[in-house]
Amino acid sequence: MQVLAEQLRQLGFDVDLTFAQHNVVVINNYEIKVGRHSGKRVRVGIPAQDFPFTAPAGLHLCPQLAPNGAANISQSPLGPEWQYWSRRLQDWKESDRNAQHVISYINKVVLNGG
């Protein structure tokens, strides 16, 4: 978890470890730059229990961007204002397994989801 947090900081992101008990690294004030949510700023929670060995299995987003119950989107354990978007990062084993790849994954998830 600390490895991901440090890599994200090096990329210039505001990182929050408030949800460390859930093994989640949060990017504060993340600007969505693609898709129908373009221009919105959200908090993105990234499951990172054993980063970089295992890819995130999904993302926690706050505020909610889509209805719960559709497209593998559900209530997040991080709180009532959060959602969990279950989305597998498919090419992790072939990637550099770094924060930059996670950022690309976030952009793909918000572009295609919700």
Q: Longest C-alpha distance within the chain, in Å? A: 35
Over residues 37-92, the pLDDT tens digits come to 999 999 999 999 999 999 998 999 999 999 999 889 999 999 999 999 999 888 89
Which residues are CB-neighbours of 79 under 8 A, at least 6 positions away? 62
Q: What is the pLDDT of residues 63-77, one digit of tens each?
A: 999 999 988 999 999
Contact assessment for residue 73 and residue 83, using Cβ atoms and an 8 Å cutoff = yes
Write down the residue that tokens 């989305």 correspond to: 87
Range of the domain at 43: 2-112
pLDDT of res. 114: 61
- The domain tally of the chain equals 1
> Which pTM was predicted?
0.94
DSSP 8-state assignment for residue 32: P
The two three-digit tokens of residue 97, written as one number: 């397994």
Helix (H) or strand (E) holding 72: none
Q: Is the pLDDT of residue 16 over 90?
A: yes
Decide if pLDDT at 35 tops 90. Answer: no
Average pLDDT over residues 1-26: 97
